[in-house]
Structure 1
Amino acid sequence: MLLAVLLPFIIAIFIPFLSKWKHKLHTGFFVTAVPVVIFIYFARFIGPGFEPVEREYSWIPSLDMNFLFYLDGLSLLFILLISGIGSLVAFYSIYYLHKSEQLGHFYVYFLLFMGSMLGIVLSDNVYVLYTFWEFTSLSSFLLIGFWNHREGSRYGALKSMLITVFGGLSLLGGLVFMSGITGTASIQEMMSQQELILNHDFFPLILTLILLGAFTKSAQFPFHIWLPDAMEAPTPVSAYLHSATMVKAGIFLVARFLPMLSVSEWFFIIVSAVGIATLCWGSYMAVRQTDLKGILAFSTISQLGMIMAMLGFGTKAAIFAAVFHILNHATFKGSLFMIAGIVDHETGSRDIRKLGGLMTFLPITATLAVIASFSMAGVPFPFLNGFYSKEMFFDAAVTMDLSVTGIAATLQTLFPYLAVLGSIFTFVYSMYFFFGTFRGKANIDELPKKPHEAPVGMLVSPAILVLGVIIIGLFPDLINKPFIEHAASAAYGSENVKDIYYWHGLSPAFIMSITVLVFGTILYLSIPKWASIYNAVPGRLSLNTFYDGLVERTERYSTIITNSYMNGSLGRYVRLILVAIVVVTFGTMALTGGFTLDFGNLSEVTLHEVLIAVVMVIAAIGTIIAKNRIAAILILGVVGYGLAMLFVLYRAPDLALTQLIVETVTVALFLLVFYHLPNLEPHNESSLTKTMNLIISVGFGLLMTMVAISAHSHKMFDSMSSYFVDNSYKLGGGDNIVNVILVDFRGLDTLFEIAVLGIAAMAIFALIRLRGKNKEE
Structure 2
Amino acid sequence: MLYIVLIPLLLSCIIPFISKIKHKLHTGLFVFLIPTVIFIYFIRFVGTEFEPVRQSYNWIPSLGINFDFYLDGLSLLFALLISGIGALVVLYSIYYLDKGERLGHFYVYLLMFMSAMLGVVLSDNIFVLYTFWELTSISSFLLIGYWHFKEKSRYGALKSMLITIFGGLSMFGGFILLSVMTGTTSIQVMIQNAEVIMNSPYMPLALGFMLIGAFTKSAQFPFHIWLPDAMEAPTPVSAYLHSATMVKAGLFLVARFSPIFADYEWFFIIVSVAGIVTLCWGSYMAVHQTDLKAILAFSTISQLGMIMAMLGFGTEAAAFAAVFHILCHATFKGSLFMVAGIVDHETGTRDIRKLGGLMTFMPMSAALALFGTFSMAGIPLPFLNGFYSKEMFFQSTLDLPAGANVVATFLVDIIPYLAVFGSIFTFVYSLYFLFGTFAGKKQVDQLPKHPHEAPIGMLLSPFILVLGVILIGLFPNAFNGTFIAHAAEAVAGSAVVENIKFWHGLSPAFQMSLAVVAIGTILVSTRRKWSKVYTFVPGGRSINNIYDAIISKLDSWSRRITTFYMTGSLRLYMAIILSTIMLVTLSFMLVTDGFTINSNDLAPVRLTEIAVVLVIIAAAIGTIFARQNLAAILIVGVVGYGVSLLFVIYRAPDLALTQLVVETVSVALFLLCFYHLPNLRNKKDSTGTRLTNGIVSIGFGTLMTLIGISAHSSDWFGTISDYFLKTSHSLGGGDNVVNVILVDMRGLDTLFEITVLGIAALAIYSLIKIKIKKGTK
TM-score with structure 2 setting the length: 0.96
Compared CA separation, residues 630 and 96, structure 1 to 2 (3 A): same
Q: Which stretch shows the higher mean deviation, 400-409 or 584-593?
A: 400-409
Paired residue for 2:224? 224
Compared CA separation, residues 719 and 149, structure 1 to 2 (3 A): same
- In 2, distance between residues paired with 1:476 and 1:432? 28
Q: CA deviation at 1:182?
A: 2.8
Report the residue type matching 2:588 in the other structure: T
- In 1, distance between residues paired with 2:189 and 2:486? 20
Paired residue for 2:104? 104
Q: Which stretch shows the higher mean deviation, 527-536 or 670-679?
A: 670-679
Report the residue type matching 1:282 in the other structure: G
- In 2, distance between residues paired with 1:402 and 1:744? 66
Compared CA separation, residues 758 and 232, structure 1 to 2 (3 A): closer
Q: Map of 1:42-441 to 2, 5 A cutoff?
A: 42-441=42-441
- Secondary structure of 2:279's counterpart equals helix
- Secondary structure of 2:69's counterpart equals strand
- In 2, distance between residues paired with 1:56 and 1:565? 49
Q: Which stretch shows the higher mean deviation, 322-331 or 520-529?
A: 520-529
Report the residue type matching 1:612 in the other structure: V
Q: Tell me if 1:733 matches 2:744.
A: no
Compared CA separation, residues 667 and 21, structure 1 to 2 (3 A): closer
Q: Tell me if 1:35 matches 2:38.
A: no
Q: CA deviation at 1:124?
A: 1.4
Ranges in structure 2 where 5+ consecutive residues have no aligned partner: none
Q: CA deviation at 1:541?
A: 0.7
Q: CA deviation at 1:534?
A: 0.8
- In 2, distance between residues paired with 1:565 and 1:773? 32
Report the residue type matching 2:216 in the other structure: T
- Secondary structure of 2:503's counterpart equals coil
Paired residue for 2:611? 611
Paired residue for 2:751? 751
Q: Which stretch shows the higher mean deviation, 287-296 or 550-559?
A: 550-559
Length, aligned pairs only: 777
Q: Map of 1:335-734 to 2, 5 A cutoff?
A: 335-734=335-734
Q: CA deviation at 1:46?
A: 0.2
Q: Which stretch shows the higher mean deviation, 683-692 or 7-16?
A: 7-16
Q: CA deviation at 1:466?
A: 0.9
- In 2, distance between residues paired with 1:272 and 1:744? 57
- In 1, distance between residues paired with 2:648 and 2:182? 49
Q: Which stretch shows the higher mean deviation, 129-138 or 299-308?
A: 129-138
- In 2, distance between residues paired with 1:487 and 1:775? 67
Q: Deviations over 1:41-99 (max 9, x none)?
A: 11010001111111122233333332221111111000110111111111111111122
Report the residue type matching 1:384 in the other structure: L
Q: Deviations over 1:289-348 (max 9, x none)?
A: 011111000000000001011111111111110000000000110011111111112222
Q: Deviations over 1:650-683 (max 9, x none)?
A: 3322222222222222222222222332234312
Report the residue type matching 1:191 in the other structure: I
Q: Deviations over 1:593-651 (max 9, x none)?
A: 22233223433322222222222222222222333332232222222222222222333
Q: Which stretch shows the higher mean deviation, 322-331 or 637-646?
A: 637-646
Report the residue type matching 2:194 in the other structure: Q
- In 1, distance between residues paired with 2:101 and 2:13? 19
Please tell me whether the aligned partners of residues 403 and 412 of structure 2 are also in contact (alpha carbons under 8 angstroms): no
- In 2, distance between residues paired with 1:767 and 1:456? 52
- In 2, distance between residues paired with 1:543 and 1:388? 34
Q: Deviations over 1:706-736 (max 9, x none)?
A: 2122223333322212222222223222222
Please tell me whether the aligned partners of residues 628 and 679 of structure 2 are also in contact (alpha carbons under 8 angstroms): no
Compared CA separation, residues 225 and 766, structure 1 to 2 (3 A): closer
Q: Deviations over 1:358-408 (max 9, x none)?
A: 222222211111111111011111111111111111111111104521322
Report the residue type matching 1:705 in the other structure: T
Report the residue type matching 2:157 in the other structure: A
- In 2, distance between residues paired with 1:356 and 1:705? 80
- Secondary structure of 2:414's counterpart equals helix
- In 1, distance between residues paired with 2:46 and 2:232? 36
Report the residue type matching 1:445 in the other structure: D
- Secondary structure of 2:267's counterpart equals helix
- In 2, distance between residues paired with 1:604 and 1:191? 62
Please tell me whether the aligned partners of residues 355 and 436 of structure 2 are also in contact (alpha carbons under 8 angstroms): yes
Report the residue type matching 1:174 in the other structure: G
Q: Which stretch shows the higher mean deviation, 192-201 or 764-773?
A: 764-773
Q: CA deviation at 1:552?
A: 1.4
- In 2, distance between residues paired with 1:211 and 1:775? 57
- In 2, distance between residues paired with 1:561 and 1:772? 34
- In 1, distance between residues paired with 2:592 and 2:344? 64
Q: CA deviation at 1:147?
A: 1.5
Q: Deviations over 1:544-587 (max 9, x none)?
A: 11111111111121111101110101011111111111111111
- In 1, distance between residues paired with 2:512 and 2:105? 48
Please tell me whether the aligned partners of residues 627 and 680 of structure 2 are also in contact (alpha carbons under 8 angstroms): no
- Secondary structure of 1:505's counterpart equals coil
Q: Deviations over 1:500-534 (max 9, x none)?
A: 12122222211211121121112222211211111
Please tell me whether the aligned partners of residues 254 and 311 of structure 2 are also in contact (alpha carbons under 8 angstroms): yes
Q: Map of 1:14-25 to 2, 5 A cutoff?
A: 14-25=14-25
- Secondary structure of 1:67's counterpart equals strand
- In 2, distance between residues paired with 1:86 and 1:762? 39
Report the residue type matching 1:400 in the other structure: L
Report the residue type matching 1:134 in the other structure: E
Please tell me whether the aligned partners of residues 379 and 517 of structure 2 are also in contact (alpha carbons under 8 angstroms): yes
Q: CA deviation at 1:356?
A: 1.4
- In 1, distance between residues paired with 2:766 and 2:445? 61
RMSD: 2.0
Q: CA deviation at 1:197?
A: 3.0
Q: CA deviation at 1:170?
A: 1.6
Q: Which stretch shows the higher mean deviation, 500-509 or 577-586?
A: 500-509
- In 1, distance between residues paired with 2:567 and 2:769? 32
Q: Which stretch shows the higher mean deviation, 285-294 or 393-402?
A: 393-402
- In 1, distance between residues paired with 2:126 and 2:653? 46
Report the residue type matching 2:197 in the other structure: I
Q: Which stretch shows the higher mean deviation, 379-388 or 708-717?
A: 708-717
- In 2, distance between residues paired with 1:758 and 1:545? 46
Report the residue type matching 2:632 in the other structure: A
Q: CA deviation at 1:757?
A: 3.8
Ranges in structure 1 where 5+ consecutive residues have no aligned partner: none
Report the residue type matching 2:181 in the other structure: I
Identity of aligned residues (%): 65
- Secondary structure of 1:257's counterpart equals helix
Q: CA deviation at 1:769?
A: 8.4
- Secondary structure of 1:572's counterpart equals helix
Q: Deviations over 1:416-455 (max 9, x none)?
A: 1111111111111111111111111111221122222221
- Secondary structure of 1:59's counterpart equals strand
Compared CA separation, residues 672 and 272, structure 1 to 2 (3 A): same
Q: Which stretch shows the higher mean deviation, 90-99 or 189-198?
A: 189-198
- In 1, distance between residues paired with 2:558 and 2:69? 42
